[in-house]
Amino acid sequence: MPALISAADETKSLRVGTNVLNREAATVDLLTQGRLQLGLGAGYMQSEYEQAGLDFDAGGIRVERLAEAVTLIKGLLKGEQVTFAGRYYRVTDHTIYPLSAQQPHPPILIGGNGRNLLTLAAREADIVGFSGITFRRGGAVPDISGWGVSEVDKRMQLVRDVAGDRYSRLELNALVQRVVVTDHPRQAAEELARRWTQLSPEEILQSPYVLIGTADKLIEDLHARRERWGISYYVIFEPYVDTFAPVVARLTGG
């Protein structure tokens, strides 16, 4: 939390945010003059649950619990006095203070890859995050078969169908796992395919979860993926921020 505040204090327009956070959101939004994005998730790492002394329930239960939490969080951030009796949460005449600067609440991001989680995101989130990964065996085994173009198409259509009239107001986000700036994209993709054996080099090059090529090619791919899927928002992991920075500068005219 102090890092978010420090970053916001030193800038004027930079939007700060989290991917998963469940406390002090309203205060941060207030202190950043309405620049918080609140990311929520169902959790996928069994080891993290065990370290916190929590039961690692089946995925469907975790999504149901998240759905209840989203209902509570939205009501509280609106300033409502919330009474709620669900399967997982019970509160009586609960309120929070201070209220968030953004009303009725800061933009909520819900992300994942499974059908249940994306259905919840399509119904409740302002930003739908696509990770392309399903973690099996308690988070120990990543399944990236969802990175293929046809699988991305299916998940995008699911969100469109569930969101209905609110689809046009959604922002679509993709979690990028690799950024490789190179004049030899095919070679880079072949090297990654030796590790990501579920995918061919062609599938890797076409996936919205990977960016490989020259700066010009990355920009071209970003525009093409926005045209095809509507993705306008990408999360880049820290090791690739400097690599991706020139692309950002080109896109923003900086």
**pTM reported for the whole predicted model:** 0.89
Residue 137, token pair as written in the block:
């065996």
**Angle at 114 (CA atoms; ends 110, 116), nearest 5 degrees:** 75
Rounded mean pLDDT for each run of 10 residues along the chain, 254 residues in total: 78 81 79 92 90 91 96 95 96 92 96 95 98 86 93 98 97 97 97 96 97 96 97 96 94 78
Residue 136, token pair as written in the block:
């099996």
Residue 53 has a pLDDT of 93
| Residue spans per domain, the chain | 1-106, 114-254
Residue 2 has a pLDDT of 61
Options 2.40.50.100, 3.20.20.30, 3.40.50.720, 3.40.1160.10; CATH for 114-254 is: 3.20.20.30
DSSP annotation string for 31-56: HTTS-EEEEE-----HHHHHHTT---
253: Cβ contacts below 8 Å, ≥ 6 apart: none
